[in-house]
Amino acid sequence: MTRLSTQRKNKQTKQGTSGLDSAAISSLNITSVDVYDTLDSLPMTGLVEGTKALVGQNLYFTEGNGWYNIALVNKVPTWDIEPDATYTIADSATPLLITAKALDSDNPNLINQSSVTDSAQYMVTISNDSSVWTFTPKSADSIGIEVGAGNLTDSNGDFVYTFKWSDGVNFVSKAVTIAYNPAFTGFEPSGISVFPSAHLDVNRAHEVIRFNGDGTVLMAWTPYGFTQYFQWWDLTTAYDISTATLNNSKSFDNTSLLGTVGYGSAPAGDYRRLESVDFNADGTKMISGSWDTTNVIGTSPNQDYNMRFAEWNLSTAYDPTTHSTFPTVYQGSTPSYGSNSGVTENSWDAAHTEHTASARSCYKIDWEGNGDYVTLSYHDTSGGGWQVVKYETTSAYNFSSVDFLNPAQILFKTDFTSNPNYPRWFNDEGTEMWFGSGGKIYKATFSTPWDFSTVSPSSVTALTAQDLKRPSSNGGNNIIGNTFKALHVEPNASKIYVVVEGGFDQSGNYWNNNTYGNGNYAALLQFDLS
């Protein structure tokens, strides 16, 4: 505590160079108040302890030896620019800026004591410059990882940011709700660019396209007999295949990713005839759909193989070449080497009475809805065409809880005005399914998320589809050849990818003029969405 025993010290006090602890004030015997026009008029002799003096708007007191300045009133900070009660982050590419400015007439140096709910750390990155806050959204893939890890309940949510300014005693604050839906919706097939923005020559007509968690790795592969052709591409710009470089150390030709494992043990079986794989939210696990060639059903020419579904640990996230030797979860028949869930050809047919399926007709296994579902494409061997079947999980990305003998719903070609082919993609919200058929890209919409019974046939007519076999008005070249094998939509990057067999660029040249010398004129095309 500073004692003022001279007029000079009194003037310094008026300028704010000294103060008093409120605890000390409470111990003094303050008895009276005198009013003075100036600091110089304050008496310096005959001082009585507890005497108060008011000079302008400033209050002083004496303990008998000098004068001390204390605040008469500690004014409460007020909003100069008050934030709104709610905000919405537009998309994953657009930061949200919020200005929240407070004023205090007796204290220009307010303290920022703002805070945020825990969920925000998984959805946005927050920075602050003076009275302006920037909320930079994280990608949908990143948020999906956090959902899978249990840090968020779903990918569409909100958090509360409390803006608070304080003078050390009083404060002004406001709790603001910020909503963020990272998924892009509303794209239409008609918004596909006339020509691809980039393409890659590929060694086979790959049936599976997968990105890693941040879009810097593209993987594509296709079954070939009991082996696979697999290509790994590193991308310097996320989701832009024009920046791709083939990683030869990861790629392979005519080699089996999965093999025959576990004879004499629980996971025994043959996983070589791999049809499709997908990853969990953080890429540490991989699920696969394949044929079990050790369990032949029937005799030629009608013999078939039993299906096998499995989950594998990955020592490196999103790298299928680092899979565990044995599956951690497996479902499928192992008649000679153990027992498991009992998914056999007969039990499959019994459970899926709406169709006649064969083991080798099962394609395209996927996690959906942030791990709440597994979908499987298959072919109705009775002539019904391609179908999509949906299974539910009891917890996100819990593959052991998938009951392949108890489908939740089946989507048939008869649900559409066109015939869906097996390349298809669902958005995480379960409101859209994109698919290809007859050289066209279609989108089906569901009025109730993940309810196949609410599909809208009007959304999949030829009028709303995008024909990738361009007419003469758009160059006259058959861009996709006869058909395409794989399809993937990346909403956050506003792009759609397809793998084609043959086809020409806008100059009339083959996409793949036998680049690999194997007679396969296949290419992976990247189209922009608007």
Per-residue pLDDT of the chain (530 residues; tens, 9 = 90+): 333 333 333 333 333 333 444 334 444 444 557 888 888 888 888 888 888 888 877 788 888 888 877 755 567 899 999 999 999 887 776 789 999 999 987 778 899 999 998 889 988 999 999 999 999 988 766 776 676 566 876 556 789 999 999 988 789 999 999 988 776 556 888 889 888 999 999 999 888 999 998 889 999 998 887 788 999 999 998 899 999 999 999 999 988 888 777 554 555 667 888 888 999 988 999 999 887 666 555 555 555 566 778 899 999 999 999 999 888 887 765 544 444 455 666 666 666 666 555 545 667 899 998 899 999 887 665 555 677 889 999 988 999 898 888 889 888 766 665 555 567 899 887 888 888 877 888 888 888 889 998 887 666 666 667 888 777 776 677 888 767 788 999 887 789 999 988 888 888 888 888 888 888 889 999 999 88
> In this structure, is the dihedral angle defined by the CA atoms of residues 274, 291, 388 and 467, taken in order, positive or negative?
positive
pLDDT value of position 319: 96
CB count within 10 Å of CB 6 equals: 12
Contact 424, 437 (CB under 8 A): no
DSSP string for residues in 6-30: SHHHHHHHHTT-----HHHHTTS--
Q: Which residues contact residue 8 at a Cβ distance below 8 angstroms, ignoring those fewer than 6 apart?
A: none
* CA dist 452 → 24, 361, 478 (Å): 74, 21, 33
List domains and CATH numbers for the chain.
7-70 (no CATH), 78-180 (2.60.40.1080), 189-528 (2.115.10)
CA distance 114 to 127: 12
Give the integer Cα–Cα distance in Å for 363 and 385.
13
**Model pLDDT for residues 268-283, shown as the tens digit of each residue:** 667 888 888 999 988 9
Residue 106's alpha-carbon distances to 59, 61, 209, in angstroms, are 14, 20, 63
| Cβ within 8 Å of residue 314, ≥6 positions away | 279, 283, 284, 285, 286, 320, 322, 323, 324
Q: List C-alpha distances in Å: 489 to 212, 216, 427.
A: 14, 15, 8
Q: How far apart are CA 134 and CA 128, in angstroms?
A: 6
Q: CA-based Rg of the chain, rounded to a whole angstrom?
A: 34
- pLDDT at res. 517: 87
DSSP output for 225-241 = TTEEEEEEEEESSTT-G
User: Do 142 and 214 meet the contact criterion of CB atoms below 8 Å apart?
Assistant: yes
Tokens at 344, concatenated: 């056999």
Token pair, residue 6, equals 């001279």
What digits encode the pLDDT tens for the residues 170-227?
899 999 999 887 765 568 888 898 889 999 999 998 889 999 988 899 999 988 877 8
- CB proximity list for 430: less than 8 A, separation 6 or greater: 368, 369, 373, 446, 449, 450, 451
CB contact at 8 A, 207 and 485: yes
| Sequence-distant (≥ 6) Cβ neighbours of residue 463 within 8 angstroms | none
Burial of 326 (0-12, 13-18, 19+ CB in 10 A): middle
Alpha helices in 311-419 (DSSP H): 345-351
